[in-house]
Amino acid sequence: MRRVLGLLAVGALAAATAGCSPSDTPDDAAPAEEANATRVLDEEFADPDILEVDGVYYAYASAGNRKNVQVATSTDLLEWEMLDDDALPELPSWTIPGKTWAPEVTEVADGQFVLYFTTTNFKPALQCIGVATSTDPAGPFTVAGDRMLVCPEAEGGAIDASTFATDTGLNLVWKNDGNCCDKDTWIQTAPLSADGLALAGPTTRLVKQTLDWEGLLVEAPTVVPRDDGFALLYSSNFYGDSSYNVGYATAPALEGPWEKSPEPILSSDSFGGDRYIGPGGQDLATAPDDTTYLLFHSWDAAVTYRSMHAEPVEWQGSDLQFTQE
């Protein structure tokens, strides 16, 4: 795995959010300035996930531009080129096409890449997490197995997979999709098999929605191992308007106790309130000059698409701080 995550050793509202695809366009959001110096890819590119392979950064995004999984490449995290091909051109027959998002790609062995993706299962008809493989980080990826990797029916399904590595191996982290059906949403994690194709241990719950600004849900987890434990970035509230934001929590161990920041670290109100609309779906990556960036999506001023942005950040103890005004 060559994800560059900071100091990583090795990403009525209940009814409104139930069953919603992040590619749907909302009707409600606050205005923001069209010009934005942090926008690094000015087209639909939601829920970016970043992977570095041999000096090339690959960004993967939710369905858009007639692709199930979009891919862009860069050598510095700031200038990106969209690739023409769909990284996941074929969905299995046991899924409902048209709703594929929140991709995560990791390298489990030299030249062996695994894609975790969210799509809608037929039975049960829930959003769940599938897995696919490729020998090329740009794809095409081929779906592995004949069922979803993570699909907890009693918890409303599962979405927004990401990975992180510890001394004991690779781990998967996700959100149970409880807001589909009046249940809590938990950020959860479990160890993966060496090939990344199966869960290999018990599930640990990290955090759920507890703060007013989180609304009905927490999702889009990014776990970062730190010298003194773990940091967790996550998105919360409704993705389709200005209430969406990025939260932050820390813990000495995955089992907790987790301490949340009392306010979101990134929201529509950040930087004077005129830079972003509903920022979220974040990932962390470090550029060749050792600058660490938080990459995420934000709605454009007309609220018609979510473009990718990059804000420089740095670690100050256990806190993640933005470094530009």
For residue range 73-110, list pLDDT tens digits in order. Answer: 999 999 999 999 999 999 998 898 888 999 999 999 99
For 13-322, CATH gives 2.115.10.20
Question: Which pLDDT score is estimated for 99?
Answer: 86
Distance CA 239, CA 193 (A): 32
Predicted local distance difference test score (pLDDT) of residue 237: 99
pLDDT, tens digit (0-9, with 9 covering 90-100), for 164-195:
999 999 999 999 999 999 999 999 999 999 99
Of 268, 214, 269, 216, residue with least CA distance to 236: 214
Q: At 59, is the pLDDT very low, low, confident or very high (cuts 50, 70, 90)?
A: very high
CA distance 96 to 251: 37
pLDDT at site 3: 34
The DSSP H or E segment spanning 71 is strand 70-74
Length of the chain: 325
Q: Which amino acid is at 54?
A: D
Q: Report in angstroms the alpha-carbon separations of 69 from 91, 136, 252, 306, 324.
A: 11, 14, 35, 15, 31
User: Mean pLDDT over residues 32-45, rounded?
Assistant: 79
CA angle 122, 91, 163 (to 5 degrees): 90
pTM, two decimals, is: 0.90
pLDDT digits (tens, 9 = 90+) for 223-275: 999 999 999 999 999 999 999 999 999 999 999 999 999 999 999 999 999 99
Residue 272 main-chain phi, psi, to 5 deg: 85, 0
b/e burial code for range 249-283 (CB count within 10 A of at least 16 → b): bbbeebeeebebeeebbbbbbbbeeebbbbbbbbb
Spatial distance between the Cα atoms of 278 and 269, rounded to a whole number of angstroms? 9
Residue 317 is classified by DSSP as T
Per-residue DSSP letter, 13: H
Confidence of residue 154 (pLDDT cuts 50, 70, 90): very high
Q: Which residues pair with residue 39 across a beta bridge? A: 309
The alpha carbon of residue 284 and the mean position of all alpha carbons in its chain are separated, in whole angstroms, by: 10
49 and 104 Cβ atoms separated by less than 8 Å: yes
Lowest-confidence segment of 20-29, 106-115, 138-147, 295-304 by average pLDDT: 20-29
pLDDT at position 12: 34
**Catalytic residue IDs:** 47, 219
Nearest to 118 by CA among 70, 44, 68, 165: 68
| Predicted local distance difference test score (pLDDT) of residue 205 | 99
What is the rounded CA–CA span in Å between residue 187 and residue 205?
6
Q: What pLDDT shows up at residue 317?
A: 87
User: What integer pLDDT is reported at residue 34 of this predicted model?
Assistant: 46
> Is residue 67's pLDDT more than 60?
yes
What is the SS3 assignment for 188? strand
Read off the pLDDT of each residue in 139-146 and give the average, rounded to a whole number: 97
Q: Tell me what pLDDT residue 44 has.
A: 98
pLDDT at 18 over 80: no
- Helix/strand number for the chain, H first, E second: 1, 21
Q: Is pLDDT above 80 for 33?
A: no
Q: Which pLDDT score is estimated for 25? A: 44
Using alpha carbons, select from 86, 41, 59, 63 the residue that is nearest to residue 4: 59
